[in-house]
Amino acid sequence: MATILVVEDEFAVARGLQYALQQEGYEVTVASNGEEGLAVAGELAPDLIVLDVRLPGIDGFELLRRLRATGSKAPVLMLTARDDE
């Protein structure tokens, strides 16, 4: 079973994503901030990471830089409410 890590600080968004992905047959773990996401990604080695850009503490861009620096090659889907690229 493929594993997905969702790093999202908005509870409702995180739980909605978790529910929808679990309904599709994925094993989903949720982290609520960048530090937790970094730790969980190191332990879990997920197949995909859904990453919020605006996180408390370590933001999504910095978290992605740190993940890549540790050798993680997991695909990352960036999630944001921003209206520009």
Per-residue confidence of the chain (85 residues) as pLDDT tens digits? Answer: 899 999 999 999 999 999 999 999 999 999 999 999 999 999 999 999 999 999 998 999 999 999 999 999 999 999 987 666 5
| pLDDT the model gives residue 80 | 83
Find all residues with CB under 8 Å of 13, minimum gap 6, and list them: 52, 79
| pLDDT the model gives residue 71 | 94
- Indicate yes or no: pTM above 0.75: yes
How far apart, in Å, are the Cα atoms of 70 and each of 13, 15, 36, 54, 67?
A: 27, 28, 15, 21, 5
Residue 38, phi then psi, degrees to nearest 5? -65, -45
Tokens for 80, please give them.
């944001």
| pLDDT the model gives residue 52 | 95
